[in-house]
Amino acid sequence: MWKRILPEALAGIANHLYEVDIAEATGVARGYDIFHLPTVYLYRDGAFHAELQCEARRDAIRTTVLALLAGKAQEEP
């Protein structure tokens, strides 16, 4: 569901969406301590902002992302 909703929810906000298959890139999963799927990380201009945690609804995603981007970048997980 997330793969379908994210492009619509982030239209005009995100220029790029990247998907990492952690079955193929297990080092990424270990490096970021990814235990639950899907896991969505929000970056802007190369700076980590937050892990996206909200309902899988277009309006919830859009509202949450805009609020997270309004804050300062954080340290990467």
- Whether the pLDDT of residue 58 is over 90: the answer is yes
**Which tens digit of pLDDT belongs to each residue from 2-57?**
989 999 999 999 989 988 888 898 998 888 888 888 899 999 999 999 999 999 99
Within a domain: 20? yes
The pLDDT score that the predictor gives to residue 9 is 95
The pLDDT score that the predictor gives to residue 34 is 86
Question: What value does the mean pLDDT take over residues 56-76?
Answer: 95
Number of domains comprising the chain? 1
Strand partners, 11: none
The kind and range of the H/E element at 51 are strand 47-51
Within a domain: 28? yes
Within a domain: 24? yes
- Confidence bin at 71 (pLDDT 50/70/90): very high
Within a domain: 39? yes
Within a domain: 76? no
Collapsing DSSP to helix, strand or coil, 41 comes out as: strand
Q: Residue 52 corresponds to which tokens in the numbers above?
A: 């996206």
Within a domain: 46? yes
| Domain enclosing residue 20, as ranges | 2-70
